[in-house]
Amino acid sequence: MDSTERPRGPRLEWTVVPSDIGPLLLAATPEGLVRVEFHAGPDRADGMADALISRLGADAWRPAPGEEVLLAEPIRQLTAYFAGTLRRFELPLDWRLSSGFNRQVLLELDRSVPYGSVVGYGQLAARAGQPGAAQAVGNAMGSNPLPLVVACHRVVENDGGIGGFGGGVETKRILLALEGVLPQPLF
């Protein structure tokens, strides 16, 4: 539903915002930010939103730019993050799109890997109480419904390689450079 009319039932507010790494789809419920998706260009955003609406079974509302209610603070904080003035997101999060081990690992990542630092997949597995589960940690990062806010770009290969990223490896490089972990590109 891409309506300017507010829904009557359980609410999901969504929008697409520009960023330094391309358009991002943001979605929130009254419980908190529920989804961040990369590459939300005009050809993909409606499909992304429809899939999320279907999964959550929520009535959705896409406010006009600047009229966001549930997304006003996430938008403000993302803007500050990309401006280099925000180092930790302080937002209510709706975790219903993550469960079990994946949620456990994401919560540990959010708790123990601050801005400007990285952790190896195996190290994060050990911190989450599952030594030897590096591959499962990689799967958890790939299923992260809240990238950027729960900073899966900070998880790298144990041997120092950059590893994969749902937003693309170049996006991961940009984010790690923004946080000072990697040098800024020359051009």
Residues designated catalytic: 152
Structure tokens given for 172: 């991961």
Euclidean distance between CA atoms 157 and 31, whole angstroms? 33
Residue 127: strand, helix, or coil: helix
Buried b (16+ CB within 10 A) or exposed e, 161-180: ebbbbbbeeebbbbbbebbe
